[in-house]
Amino acid sequence: MAIKEKVISQFFSEYVRELNPDPGLDDSIKDLTPEKIEKTIKSVLGGRSARIKAVLDTCIHCGLCSKACQWYLSNNYDPSYAPVAKMRMTIWEMINRNYKVDAEFIKQCARIVFTECNICHRCSMYCPYGLDITFIIGMVRRICFLLGVVPQRMMDQDHSHATALNQVWLSQNDWIDTIQWQEEEVGAEYKDLRIPIDKEGAEVMWLPLGAEPKTSIYHIERHAKIMHWAGVDWTVPGRDVWDCSNMAMFLRDFTTQNRIVRGLFDNAARLRIKKFVMTECGHSRFSSTYAAPPMLGWKDLPFKMYQSIEFFHELLMEGRIKIKRKIKEPVTIHDPCNLVRRAGATEKFREMAYATCEKVIEMYPNKEHNFCCNAGGGLASLSNWTAHKVKGNRIKAEQIMQTGAKIVITSCHNCSTGIRDIIKYYNLPVKNVYFDEILMETMDIPENLLMKH
């Protein structure tokens, strides 16, 4: 195996990493000037100086955040991966140097905050003062974004959101064509199956992730079947925005982030729906439910917010989903950070798992104390950083192996990317599945809906 070239930081001798070329970091710094860098840092930190000062002055460097971080644990307790070190090597240094830093320093900051932190919030749970370290990381991400120093594939998704209002450069015509094609395909199997577009007054507006109509069409098919079998009155929006993801949030591109959630909420209000249901995605649950209302000035929402598994749980509790058989292989649950730690869907996820699987084996730690998949915070898009990411998530691979399970249920697209990567890299004898897949195998299909051939 070839030995990868190492890069030693000129600012911090303990920061040693394998070389990982990325045009978004390497080429974008060429036109930066000290004046532009200083002006940008001042513009970002100036308006948040009191909150930043509160975090930095309160931190006592106790190190309790270190063992909360999968990057630190998976890299053999390397102190340069500790959350407090990430603050020290970025924002603390900017302030100590009175904002007078060079382009190479900004490049190092971008690598730290975009490729070595998932904004999973686990470190804050273990901080004795409850300091929000991810707020600091987010401020540094904002500085790097405004300077244009962002991993190329992350920036591409942000540009796609800004241009096409979805993360995969899909045109509005292609979105409509895909929905009509799926209705025709799935409708051939079941009586009266429809995927309604722009149905006013529907109970549910369902929103996919941008990748689903482009590369993961089976999620639209499965959700259409579940909605039909459960007798749900539903619709999808026919106008932008229909993609519930929000990659702009990870870059702290507030303008694009605002446009996305405004478009989603405008569709919900226009169609007068009662329930706003997002596909199996963790970050969209946070961006739409918690980040969007204060950003848009909405005090209360006129509709209920759900991620798919929360909605499936409601259907199960109401008797609209009936389970005919259970998965026999032992399964374990990966808790998506944004769904469980931040949205509180812990027990609903488990009730669904126990209702559909014969043997559920918990990972430990679990629930709100879970370890991140290492694809959150936008890192799922960084396929050119995969080797770096999987080495930083050895702890999750060990967790999965310790369960002895054969199936990992992962109710999140980004998490699924991260789990699949470690399954492949560490050669784990397990498979990763979404919950819509579990329901395809276990749900009772009403006989009167089957086509007679």
Same domain, 338 and 270: no
Same domain, 102 and 198: no
Same domain, 242 and 144: no
173 lies in a domain? yes
pLDDT digits (tens, 9 = 90+) for 123-152: 999 999 999 999 999 999 999 999 999 999
Contacts of 320 (CB under 8 A, 6+ apart): 230, 231, 232
Same domain, 229 and 294: yes
Please state, in angstroms and rounded to a whole number, the distance separating the CA atoms of residues 208 and 211: 8
Mean pLDDT (whole number) for 413-425: 97
Side chain identity at residue 201, one-letter code: G
155 lies in a domain? no
More confident residue, 433 or 3: 433
Same domain, 271 and 348: no
Is the predicted pLDDT of residue 2 greater than 70, yes or no?
no
State the residue for tokens 């020290």.
88
447 lies in a domain? no
Query: Ramachandran region of residue 433, left (φ > 0), alpha (ψ -120 to 50) or beta?
Result: beta
Is the predicted pLDDT of residue 3 greater than 80, yes or no?
no
Chain centre distance of CA 153: 15
The kind and range of the H/E element at 354 are helix 346-356
Please state, in angstroms and rounded to a whole number, the distance separating the CA atoms of residues 121 and 118: 8
More confident residue, 229 or 447: 229
Same domain, 191 and 300: yes
Of 284, 341, 275, residue with least CA distance to 314: 275
CATH value at residue 430: 3.40.50
pLDDT digits (tens, 9 = 90+) for 164-181: 999 999 999 999 999 999
How many independent structural domains does the chain possess? 3
157 lies in a domain? no
pLDDT bucket at 375, cuts 50 / 70 / 90: very high
pLDDT digits (tens, 9 = 90+) for 150-165: 999 999 999 999 999 9
409 lies in a domain? yes
450 lies in a domain? no
Inter-residue contact 312 to 321 (CB < 8 Å): yes
Q: What is the pLDDT of residue 8?
A: 86
Is the predicted pLDDT of residue 48 greater than 80, yes or no?
no
73 lies in a domain? yes
pLDDT bucket at 450, cuts 50 / 70 / 90: confident
Q: What is the pLDDT of residue 46?
A: 84
Same domain, 16 and 133: yes
Mean pLDDT (whole number) for 239-260: 97
Same domain, 288 and 217: yes
Is the predicted pLDDT of residue 417 greater than 90, yes or no?
yes
Q: What is the pLDDT of residue 83?
A: 97
Q: What is the pLDDT of residue 448?
A: 87
Alpha helix (H) residue ranges in 47-121: 49-58, 70-74, 83-87, 93-96, 103-115
Last residue of a domain, one of 319, 349, 383: 319
Contacts of 397 (CB under 8 A, 6+ apart): 390, 422, 425, 426, 428
Same domain, 315 and 353: no
Mean pLDDT (whole number) for 325-344: 96
What is the domain extent for residue 235? Answer: 164-319
Residue 262 tokens read as: 């405004």
Last residue of a domain, one of 319, 342, 369: 319
Same domain, 268 and 349: no
pTM of the model: 0.95
Taking each continuous run of H as one helix and of E as one strand, the counts in the chain are 23, 9
Same domain, 99 and 206: no
Mean pLDDT (whole number) for 343-352: 96
**Average predicted confidence (pLDDT) for the chain:** 96
Phi and psi angles of residue 429, each rounded to the nearest 5 degrees, phi first: -85, 55
What does 28-41 look like in DSSP terms, one character per residue?
Answer: TTTT--HHHHHHHH
326 lies in a domain? no
pLDDT digits (tens, 9 = 90+) for 225-235: 999 999 999 99
Residue 449 tokens read as: 């809906």
State the residue for tokens 């948040």.
48
Same domain, 146 and 187: no
